[in-house]
Structure 1
Amino acid sequence: MSTIEPAFTYRSIALPALVPSLLFAIGEGSVIPVIPAIASNLGATLAVAGFIAGMTMLGQLAGDIPSGWVVSRIGERRAMIYAACLAIVATVLCMLATAPLLFGIGIFFIGLAAAVFALARHAFMTTFVPIEYRARALSTLGGTFRLGWFAGPFLGAAIIALSGTSQSVFWIQGLCALAVIVLLLVVPDPTEKLAKPDAGETFVADEAAGLFTTLYAYRGLLLRLGSGVAIVGALRASRTVILPLWAVSLGLGEANTALIVGIGGAIDFGLFYTSGQIMDRFGRLWSAIPSMTGMGLCLVVLAFTHDLPGAIAWFIVITVLLGFSNGIGSGIMMTLGADLAPPANPAPFLGAFRFTSDAGTAAAPLVIALVVALASLPLAVGLMGLLGFVGAGVLLRTVPRYVPRKLAR
């Protein structure tokens, strides 16, 4: 069989692709909300605790550098297994940490493992999913991550309530990583199930160029379209920082904040397949532009509501609308990366593409913290909202230039 289209079904990617991604995301989602609190308990100042919380993003950015090379050299399944092993090592470090420094190193390794894991999944889906299913499949993959990040915090809260210690959430991370390893060892290699006989071998054997070589080779594309993708990453990262900070500034309790943010997360998760349908049927821009402009508008409006009598009601409405706007764009970055990647050996390009988006993701919390320190939280929120409109403009101009018109539209 020379092509995979006749054999492709969503069931065929569930065990090798979607379930491991869900497990990994549940583990990651369970620990991220409590990182600042654990760091504070270990003696970190508020500023240091915030920096440690950002170590996951810095680790992910650093992990993008070797991940393309690793996946191309050893294959996506082995890369995922090694990433899960690294996550277990990071879990042990975090659980045994008695000082902020060791804890921060463990958090950095979690981000590093997440980068390799995510790139391996992305490369597999890019190589083996037929193009007419690509956006829906990648949006479904994005949906599994969203489901994990939605469910993880609730599992973490339950474990903390039962054990009485916040560091116990790392048991979830460790057990999920162990389950990923077992699953990938038991399930047949997806390259053997979905690809033509020599495709998996070619994918593993082709030597990848280094990240910086790839960045240079695609410098024009990454500078233009990549800047828009970086803004997408920055806007999504800012949302996860801004909403908890805004709730604190309004005096909302932790339980109410978790409930409100959880509702927004549920709406975000519920739209992942809708986003894929929009991209496959109407084009990538019909998902990207509404998502970016919607989030930008929500943040600009939120910036003017802090001192209004109904500030809490405004916060609830904006949180829900942000979840809707982000959900409409589910999978857009992975889909654009897959559209642009060389079919024969996509991993190096995808590593460079993810590095571009993760640079925006890592920079956003630092920019927000700087503006809050120098001016105010509403100003930081408003500036991020305006950045959303800039990102929409960049994508509107550059996506049709680099993505085939039948896909971009």
Structure 2
Amino acid sequence: MTADAARPFSWRSVILPAYLPTLLFSVGEGAMIPVIPVVATERGASLALAGLIAAMLMVGQLLGDLPAGWLVARIGERTAMIGASAVASAGTLLALLVPTERALGVGVFLLGLATAVFGLARHAFLTSHVPARVRARALSTLAGVFRAGWAVGPFTAAAIIAWTGSAAAVFWVLVISCAAVVVVLLVLPDPETAFGGADRPQPNPAHGVRHAIVTYREVLARIGTGVGILTALRASRTVILPLWAVSIGMRPDAAALVIGIAATIDFALFYVSGHVMDRHGRLWSAIPGLVGLSIGHLVLAFTHDLPTAVAWFTGVAILLGVANGLSSGVVLTVGADLAPKEHPAPFLGAYRTLADAGQAAAPLAIAAVTSALSIMAASAAMGVVGLAGAAMLWRWIPRYVPRRPRHPEPDEGERDEGWTPASDT
């Protein structure tokens, strides 16, 4: 039974069970992530080792996506989130109480695993229980909640460091946030039961992650690759901008202000993105986002040595913020559109692995090209790759994610059965 058949959809019915735990978890993660390199260097790690320890978060998330699909399908979203919070707390306490570089690396890796499970559980829940007519707005809001937590977290970390004088003390924020997540999930009614999840078919090994990869291999290769390029451009933006500011000799406080303004614009557009996708289709978010990110990278590549480089940097940073904001939630929404309705978690695990692979590969590619050629060449290369990704999504999204009626009748089934493997002939 789907959510549509069980009860009418209400935004109030998903705010607490879907968004509040996400906000709490992301605030803790947003506070911890910026201080990981600082804590690593305080413990004697070199800059290279500190960077490797920080990268363990993405390694854990990337390796955790596929197992997360199996786990969420087997034990349910609520239990998976509680388990993920426990693992994140355990990893953080290990990193906090054992003051070595190795313990810190293991703890950050465990946090990455927990992040994969937590994110997939929310994605699967909204995929299963939110009607198709508001799916993009619901998932864009989920993306906005994550971004809000990551924005609040660093300010919380700064306040704690100013108060205690210890960067490691910030780790307690994540421990407390995870404890709050568990309390919220235990106190609130199980959202899966409230939305008719008790009637969902039991997990079948034949519908596991391996089956999803084999059955949906073509759509994963086509749309998954395009989505991976989008996440790569997003990750590139967060790496390129600080490096570019240093390269052109911009004052750190001025660069931070510009990047902060761009991030604020990015966050402000998350609901606009969802509304556009629900009303006009997924391409109207994916293509402007990718093209805008690509143009921004290309413009940077040709303005580095100009006398007005700082002005160009400011304009491009804002352009990248707008482009990223306009594509907010599109990765989650397209994944939900493509996922099988009865057992979405295994497919979403494979889909999110491709998205996270792009996100993980971008910083490595930028570092390699910058080392071999220049930062301008790295920015130009990412811009060209982004345009290729836009062409892929322009070609394949209309095939696998067909447009829905703009105003469905109230008594129509709101869940679209979507694409099935049999249609890909």
Same fold at TM > 0.5: yes
Q: Are residues 154 and 192 of structure 1, via their aligned partners in 2, closer, same or farther at CA, if it must alter by over 3 Å?
A: same
Kindly report the root-mean-square deviation, in angstroms, between the aligned alpha carbons of the 2 structures: 1.9
Q: Give the drift of 1:201.
A: 4.5
| Amino acid in structure 2 at the alignment position of 1:191 | E
Q: Give the drift of 1:128.
A: 0.5
Q: Give the drift of 1:203.
A: 5.3
Q: How far, CA to CA, are the matches of 1:62 and 1:262 in structure 2?
A: 31
Q: Give the drift of 1:55.
A: 1.4
Task: Name the structure 2 match of 1:215.
Answer: 213
- Matched-pair identity in %: 53
| Amino acid in structure 1 at the alignment position of 2:217 | R
Q: Give the drift of 1:4.
A: 3.0
Q: How far, CA to CA, are the matches of 2:33 and 2:402 in structure 1?
A: 37
Q: Which runs of 5+ in 1 are unaligned?
A: none
Q: How far, CA to CA, are the matches of 1:203 and 1:265 in structure 2?
A: 41
Q: Which moved more, 1:246-255 or 1:12-21?
A: 246-255
CA contact (8 A) 2:88 2:114 kept: yes
CA contact (8 A) 1:136 1:276 kept: yes
Q: Give the drift of 1:97.
A: 4.1
Matches within 5 A, 1:90-109: 90-109=91-110
Task: Name the structure 2 match of 1:362.
Answer: 360
Q: Which runs of 5+ in 2 are unaligned?
A: 406-417, 419-425
Q: How far, CA to CA, are the matches of 2:149 and 2:211 in structure 1?
A: 34
Q: Are residues 160 and 258 of structure 1, via their aligned partners in 2, closer, same or farther at CA, if it must alter by over 3 Å?
A: farther
Q: How far, CA to CA, are the matches of 1:255 and 1:99 in structure 2?
A: 32
Q: Give the drift of 1:347.
A: 0.7
Find the residue that maps to 2:307 and give its secondary structure.
Answer: coil
Task: Name the structure 2 match of 1:269.
Answer: 267
Equivalenced residue count is 405
Matches within 5 A, 1:164-203: 164-195=165-196, 199-202=197-200
Q: Are residues 57 and 203 of structure 1, via their aligned partners in 2, closer, same or farther at CA, if it must alter by over 3 Å?
A: farther
Task: Name the structure 2 match of 1:317.
Answer: 315
Q: Are residues 254 and 386 of structure 1, via their aligned partners in 2, closer, same or farther at CA, if it must alter by over 3 Å?
A: same
Matches within 5 A, 1:116-135: 116-135=117-136
Q: How far, CA to CA, are the matches of 1:405 and 1:202 in structure 2?
A: 27
Task: Name the structure 1 match of 2:287.
Answer: 289
Q: How far, CA to CA, are the matches of 1:31 and 1:281 in structure 2?
A: 37
1:54-89: CA deviation from partner (whole Å, max 9, x where unpaired): 211111101102101111111100100000111101
* Deviating 4+ runs (over 6 angstroms): none
Q: Give the drift of 1:249.
A: 2.4
1:239-275: CA deviation from partner (whole Å, max 9, x where unpaired): 1222222223234455444332221111111101000
State which of 391, 394, 415 in structure 2 corresponds to 1:393: 391
Q: Are residues 127 and 382 of structure 1, via their aligned partners in 2, closer, same or farther at CA, if it must alter by over 3 Å?
A: same
Relative to the length of structure 1, the TM-score reads 0.94
CA contact (8 A) 1:72 1:208 kept: no
Q: Are residues 209 and 365 of structure 1, via their aligned partners in 2, closer, same or farther at CA, if it must alter by over 3 Å?
A: farther
1:202-255: CA deviation from partner (whole Å, max 9, x where unpaired): 255444744344222211111111110110111111112222222232344554
Q: How far, CA to CA, are the matches of 1:101 and 1:3 in structure 2?
A: 45
Q: Are residues 381 and 204 of structure 1, via their aligned partners in 2, closer, same or farther at CA, if it must alter by over 3 Å?
A: farther
Q: Give the drift of 1:307.
A: 2.2
Is residue 57 from structure 1 mapped to residue 58 from structure 2 by the alignment? yes
Q: Are residues 194 and 262 of structure 1, via their aligned partners in 2, closer, same or farther at CA, if it must alter by over 3 Å?
A: same
Q: How far, CA to CA, are the matches of 1:2 and 1:226 in structure 2?
A: 26
Q: How far, CA to CA, are the matches of 2:176 and 2:202 in structure 1?
A: 28
CA contact (8 A) 1:275 1:328 kept: yes
Matches within 5 A, 1:8-407: 8-195=9-196, 199-202=197-200, 205-207=203-205, 209-252=207-250, 254-406=252-404
Task: Name the structure 2 match of 1:4.
Answer: 4
1:139-178: CA deviation from partner (whole Å, max 9, x where unpaired): 1111101111111111111111111121222111111111
Find the residue that maps to 2:341 and give its secondary structure.
Answer: coil
Q: Which moved more, 1:382-391 or 1:304-313?
A: 304-313
Find the residue that maps to 1:350 and give its secondary structure.
Answer: helix
Q: Are residues 26 and 208 of structure 1, via their aligned partners in 2, closer, same or farther at CA, if it must alter by over 3 Å?
A: farther
Q: How far, CA to CA, are the matches of 2:102 and 2:302 in structure 1?
A: 38
Find the residue that maps to 1:405 and give its secondary structure.
Answer: coil
Q: How far, CA to CA, are the matches of 1:291 and 1:241 in structure 2?
A: 18
Q: How far, CA to CA, are the matches of 1:333 and 1:203 in structure 2?
A: 26
CA contact (8 A) 2:207 2:343 kept: no
1:351-409: CA deviation from partner (whole Å, max 9, x where unpaired): 1110111111111111111112222222111111111111100100011111123389x
CA contact (8 A) 2:2 2:129 kept: no
Q: How far, CA to CA, are the matches of 1:283 and 1:31 in structure 2?
A: 36
